[in-house]
């Protein structure tokens, strides 16, 4: 069965990345979580990127902040779709560096970038990718979207003005 790799540059990114973990757990999709620092553990980065597709992963979610090289370097090394989560870390300039370092990849090496701190959306996107060839997972996405809708419709009933 499909498995999603979730990695982040530092343990301090975990509070942001937890939302990807939670939503994929909610979808009952198998995950593996690890810390891989492009700048401090380049050998681990290399091994991770080179081997992920042979280790049963379908998608990799990589979160990092500041000069965020982790998603792009994994994308350089792996044929898998890589989802990048720009993290507004303590050393980031309001998130602009994180976004641009992840988004602006050169032709040939895409990273599927989500919103700043958008780890939940990274998880949903990973599920959608699996769902694009797995009808059961796609059904879960459809149900999830129906649930979002129901909650908004419900909340509008409570408006007082």
Q: Is 91 in the site for its own copies (CB under 8 A)?
A: yes
Q: Which of 42, 51, 61, 87 binds its own copies (CB under 8 A)?
A: 42
C-alpha separations of 98 from 5, 43, 69 in Å: 20, 22, 9
Q: Is 3 in the site for its own copies (CB under 8 A)?
A: no
* 16, 61, 73, 87: residue in contact with its own copies (rule CB under 8 A): 73
Q: State yes or no: residue 87 binds its own copies (CB under 8 A).
A: no
Q: Give the one residue of 5, 13, 134, 136 binding its own copies; rule: CB under 8 A.
A: 134
User: 30: annotated binding-site residue?
Assistant: no
Q: Is 10 annotated as a binding residue?
A: yes
Report the residue from 34, 51, 55, 56 that binds its own copies according to the rule CB under 8 A.
34
Give min distance, CB of 136 to its own copies, in A. Answer: 12
Is residue 149 a contact residue for its own copies (CB under 8 A)?
Answer: yes
């Amino acid at each position: 069965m499909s498995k999603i790799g979730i990695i982040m540059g530092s343990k301090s990114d975990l509070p942001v990345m937890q939302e990807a973990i939670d939503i994929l757990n909610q979808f009952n999709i198998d995950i593996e979580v690890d810390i891989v620092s492009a700048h401090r553990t380049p050998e681990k980065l290399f091994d991770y990127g080179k081997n992920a597709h042979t280790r049963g992963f379908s998608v990799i979610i990589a979160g990092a902040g500041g000069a965020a090289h982790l998603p792009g370097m994994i994308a350089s090394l792996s044929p898998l779709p890589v989802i990048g989560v720009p993290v507004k870390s303590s050393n980031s300039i309001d998130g602009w560096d994180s976004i641009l370092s992840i988004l602006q990849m050169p032709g040939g090496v895409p990273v599927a970038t989500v919103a700043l701190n958008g780890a939940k959306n990274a998880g949903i996107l990973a599920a959608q990718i699996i769902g694009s060839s797995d009808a059961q997972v796609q059904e879960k996405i459809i149900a999830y979207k129906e649930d979002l809708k129901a909650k908004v419709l419900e909340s509008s009933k409570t408006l007082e003005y």
